[in-house]
Amino acid sequence: MQQPDRWIAHLDMDAFYASVELLRYPQLRGEAVVIGGRRADAPRQLQDGSWRYARLRDYTGRGVVTTSTYAARDLGVFSAMGLMKAALRAPDAILLPADFDSYRKYSRLFKAAVAEVAPVIEDRGIDEIYIDLTDVPGVRDAVGHDPLGGVKAVAREIKNSVGRATGLSCSIGITPNKLLSKIASELDKPDGISVLTLDDIPPRIWPLAVRKINGIGPKAGEKLVRLGIETVGDIAAASPAWLVEQFGDSYGHWLHNAAHGRDSRPVVTHSEPVSISRETTFERDLHAVHDRALLGQIMDELCESLARDLARKRYAGKTVGIKLRFEGFVTVTRDQTLKAAVASAADIRHAVGLCLKRVKFDKRLRLMGVRIGNLVHAGEAQATAPARERADEPERENLSLF
The least CB distance from residue 36 to Mg ion, in Å, is 16
The binder of Mg ion chosen from 21, 41, 122, 127 (CB under 5 A):
127
Rounded-to-integer distance, Cα 258 and Cα 179, Å: 7
The binder of ligand TTP chosen from 21, 41, 127, 132 (CB under 6 A):
127
Site residues for ligand TTP, 28-87, by CB under 6 A, read 66-67, 79-80
Q: Catalytic amino acids?
A: 128
Q: What are phi and psi of 120, to 5 degrees?
A: -90, 95
- Tell whether residue 128 is a contact of Mg ion (CB under 5 A): yes
The least CB distance from residue 85 to ligand TTP, in Å, is 14
Q: Any binding-site annotation on 127?
A: yes
Binding partner of residue 185 among ligand TTP, Mg ion, none, CB under 5 to 8 Å per kind?
A: none
Q: Any binding-site annotation on 263?
A: no
Q: Looking at beta carbons only, is 70 or 361 nearer to Mg ion?
A: 70
- Tell whether residue 12 is a contact of Mg ion (CB under 5 A): yes
- Contact yes or no for 193/148 (Cβ under 8 A): no
Rounded-to-integer distance, Cα 77 and Cα 217, Å: 22
Stretch that binds ligand TTP, among 11-19, 219-227, 232-240, 330-338 (CB under 6 A): 11-19
Q: Looking at beta carbons only, is 171 or 175 nearer to ligand TTP?
A: 171
- Tell whether residue 16 is a contact of ligand TTP (CB under 6 A): yes
- Tell whether residue 17 is a contact of ligand TTP (CB under 6 A): yes
Interface with ligand TTP (CB under 6 A), residue total 14
Rounded-to-integer distance, Cα 146 and Cα 153, Å: 11
Binding partner of residue 17 among ligand TTP, Mg ion, none, CB under 5 to 8 Å per kind?
A: ligand TTP
- Tell whether residue 16 is a contact of Mg ion (CB under 5 A): yes
- Tell whether residue 189 is a contact of ligand TTP (CB under 6 A): yes
Q: What is the 3-state secondary structure (H, E, C) of 325-356?
A: EECCCEEEEEEEEEEEEECCHHHHHHHHHHHH
Q: Looking at beta carbons only, is 49 or 125 nearer to Mg ion?
A: 125
The binder of ligand TTP chosen from 8, 9, 11, 13 (CB under 6 A):
13
The dihedral through the CA atoms of 261, 159, 125, 29 has a sign that is positive
Collapsing DSSP states into helix, strand and coil, what is residue 271?
Answer: coil
CA 159 vs CA 20, 155, 168, 267, 318: distances in Å: 16, 6, 9, 19, 43
Strand 315-326: give its sheet, edge to edge: 275-286, 365-377, 315-326, 330-342
Rounded-to-integer distance, Cα 94 and Cα 75, Å: 13
Best CA proximity match to 341, nearest among 268, 393, 391: 391
Strand partners, 317: 342, 375
The binder of Mg ion chosen from 8, 9, 11, 13 (CB under 5 A):
13
Rounded-to-integer distance, Cα 96 and Cα 18, Å: 9
Binding residues: 12, 127
Q: Which parts of this chain interact with ligand TTP (CB under 6 A)?
A: 12-17, 66-67, 79-80, 126-127, 189-190
Interface positions with Mg ion (CB under 5 A)? 12-13, 16, 127-128
- Which residues does the annotation place in the binding site for Mg(2+)? 12, 127
